[in-house]
Amino acid sequence: MANISLLVLVLFLIIFFLATSVRVLREYERGVVFTLGRYTRVAGPGLFILIPIVQQMVRTDLRTFVVDVPSQDVISRDNVSVKVNAVLYYRVVDPDKAILNVEDYNEAVSQLAQTTLRSVLGKHELDEMLAERDKLNADIQSILDEQTDAWGIKVANVEIKHVDIDESMIRAIARQAEAERIRRAKIINAEGEQQAAEKLVEAGRMLAQESSAMQLRYFAALHDIAGDKSNTIVFPLPLDTLEAMLPRKKGEG
């Protein structure tokens, strides 16, 4: 009976040892091992053994995390109030730093992303927020990546999702866009008038150099007007054209 009790006790101790000492980590996991409270090493992936009671392990995940940055109230450089939200992608590259240097790296990255989003966008005007998102994303990602390096975090990407503008500001932007289109139309029309005037001046100079060319131009204009259904046509003719059409007197060269 005593032998059976001893055997049961031994089996219990073996099972307890295996349950508390044997660890298996997946390919995307690492374990930060502490011995008597002191950092020892980073273990995994695969199977390894911890010394019960003496050693403890903190599990970390190396896969990419996705953080939805809540909507932030931002005042742009041109004093426009907008609400901006974003999404952040990051992963742990140094498990020991992520455990030793920050209490909760998930919460720390989320809070840092919110403050950085407000700080960076507040330095830009509304037009830049709407038209230069790629540049703003890169700026935010660079700042976050630099500041989280001490935590063993690599920020892979930041994407601004929505820039929500007040209804009154949307109407103001629409009026501004309409005024810009009108301004461009006037500039294009003025440029067209200028080019047409330059061509007319050039044509006038060419016709002035050759009188016969001017006569041909008058005849061409008469031909065009002849197709018109107007009752009366008044068309001036230059004197040299009239003289060329009148018969010459005898004795004149």
How far apart CA 54 and CA 14 sit, in angstroms, is: 17
pLDDT attached to residue 184: 85
Q: Which residues contact 127 (CB under 8 A, 6 or more apart)?
A: none
pLDDT attached to residue 148: 93
How far apart CA 16 and CA 248 sit, in angstroms, is: 136
How far apart CA 181 and CA 189 sit, in angstroms, is: 12
Q: Per-residue confidence of the chain (253 residues) as pLDDT tens digits?
A: 667 777 777 777 777 776 778 888 999 999 999 999 899 999 989 888 888 888 889 999 999 999 999 988 888 888 888 889 999 999 999 999 999 999 999 999 999 999 999 999 888 888 888 888 889 999 999 999 999 999 999 999 999 988 888 766 666 666 766 787 788 888 888 888 888 888 777 777 766 666 666 666 666 666 666 666 665 666 565 565 555 555 555 555 5
pLDDT attached to residue 189: 86
Token pair for 152:
């063993």
pLDDT attached to residue 230: 60
Fold for domain 65-165? Tetrahydropterin Synthase; Chain A (3.30.479)
pLDDT attached to residue 231: 54
pLDDT attached to residue 81: 83
The DSSP output letter for 37 is T
* pTM of the predicted structure, to 2 decimals: 0.62
How far apart CA 117 and CA 97 sit, in angstroms, is: 24
How far apart CA 155 and CA 140 sit, in angstroms, is: 10
- Asked whether the beta carbons of 149 and 105 are under 8 A apart, the reply is no
Could you tell me the residue ranges of all domains in the chain? 10-61, 65-165, 168-218
pLDDT attached to residue 236: 61
**H helices of 132-210, where?**
133-147, 167-209
- Phi-psi category of 100—alpha, beta or left, where left has phi over 0 and alpha has psi -120 to 50? alpha
- Asked whether the beta carbons of 84 and 129 are under 8 A apart, the reply is yes
